[in-house]
Amino acid sequence: MRESEPRRAPFVSTRALRPDHVLTLLKGGDALFPALVEAIAAARSEVLLESYIFDFNGAPVAIAEALEQAAARGVTVRVVVDGVGTGDIPAAWQQRWKAAGLHWRIFNPAQGWRIFIPKGWRRLHRKLCVVDNAVAFCGGINLLDDLYDPNYGRLDKPRFDFSVRVTGPLVDDVHETMTRLWLRLQIGREARQRDLEGALRAARAAAEAGTDMADTDFGAGAAEGAGAIAALVLRDNVRFRRRIESTYRLMIAQAQSEILIANAYFVPGVRLQRALLRAAHRGVRITLLLQGRYEYFMQYHASRAVYGALLEGGIEIIEYEPSFLHAKVAVIDGELGAMATVGSSNLDPLSLLLAREANIFVRDDAFGAELRGHLMQAIAQEGRRVDPEAHLRRSLTTRALAWLAYALIQFALFATGKRY
């Protein structure tokens, strides 16, 4: 039996920042996973979910079961996972989900030699969920137990990461971008099965589900109304190639006194580095909370290749060491109120130039204060300050590893034809 066509969202002309949002900040999987289960359990018509990693062990099993139960009671459930981050869905879960009527797709399955070609580096890195087009979730938290890492096993302390539960106008945008991706994947599936009629039908539906997402503007008069002012900002390889980076730079340019950024894999390009250094030069206090524990060779060492210029410019760098820092968040105080972002995008070339990403950008004093409180607590209690003098005295081996990793990233970008 052919799968039914996705319910198409109406055409939405998305203004950058709109009011009337209710935002709930969720710290870690301990907060996100029960909220997801609760929303999915209450679903009446549709659940859409995307994740880079969906690990079917530990805490995320409850989400897999909630999706299964929703599909079994007649709710349309569609799941998209990344072909590298997740790979194949375990066979046992494939059988269970298929029996329940749940549909899933693997984004860009890159296996074997394909992982070494530039096309294989384009990943689905965003973490999104929308239920009944009424409530959405967006953030950096994978569906992976907070106390488990696929490469390092059991963790002593949970990952440091955030997500947001949101109701309000931007839920339409989340639904629309997820529907659009599903339809594009459907085109490829139908074409591979030589069902040209089905592929054309999916292509027409994808075109009709398009959106006109304007440039994010944190200027005056963005919106008036109750609730938090917020926008969904996307990054892809077609229409929104530099949208998240440019929004970060816009926020940094408007900063008045303080910038707090927590980012797991921090290898900023020249323009982003310049924006931070200009802000520091005009007297803005800038603190970067970065990954202190070794996780991946390239990201760990390449980030340290840019430490020198930032430290010399008066930017404070704090390394988080109790567990893996996986957050991609920032809080900036502007003349019109606190600005903040929570999402999936790292500030490195893989996120900013190659992957599909999604961040929510917010102008709301209460939300900004709550997120700032979490960051300041981590800085004060769990961070280690990078001493500029000690950084200058680091060993030749450490320097060589940093520049080797940075050079490898630049070579990879050269292979893709992109500049950073």
Residue with tokens 């955030």: 162
132 assigned to active site? yes
- Average pLDDT over every residue of 241-264: 93
CB 410 within 8 A of CB 350: no
The superfamily (CATH) of domain 231-416 is: Endonuclease Chain A (3.30.870.10)
Compare 24 and 411 and report the one with higher pLDDT.
24
Pick from 26-40, 107-121, 133-147, 256-270: least confident: 107-121
Per the residue annotation, which of 132, 149, 195, 217 is the catalytic one? Answer: 132
As a whole number, the mean pLDDT across the chain is 87
First to last CA, the chain: 47
Per the residue annotation, which of 82, 333, 348, 364 is the catalytic one? Answer: 333
Q: How many CB atoms lie within 10 A of CB 221?
A: 8
Residue 52: pLDDT above 80? yes
Q: Which two tokens stand for residue 64?
A: 């897999």
Per the residue annotation, which of 27, 175, 326, 374 is the catalytic one? Answer: 326
pLDDT-derived band at 237, boundaries 50, 70, 90: confident
Query: What's the CATH number for 12-211?
Result: 3.30.870.10
Residue 14: pLDDT above 60? no
Residues of the chain with CATH 3.30.870.10: 12-211, 231-416
**72-121 residue pLDDT tens:** 999 999 999 999 999 889 999 999 999 999 999 999 987 666 666 666 67
Read out DSSP for 125-149?
--EEEEETTTEEEEES--BS-TTEE
Residue with tokens 């890492």: 149
CB 339 within 8 A of CB 331: yes
Per the residue annotation, which of 328, 348, 364, 374 is the catalytic one? Answer: 328
- Average pLDDT over every residue of 5-21: 55
- Average pLDDT over every residue of 7-31: 73
Per the residue annotation, which of 125, 175, 301, 374 is the catalytic one? Answer: 125
127 assigned to active site? yes
**132-185 residue pLDDT tens:** 999 999 999 999 999 999 999 999 999 999 999 999 999 999 999 999 999 999
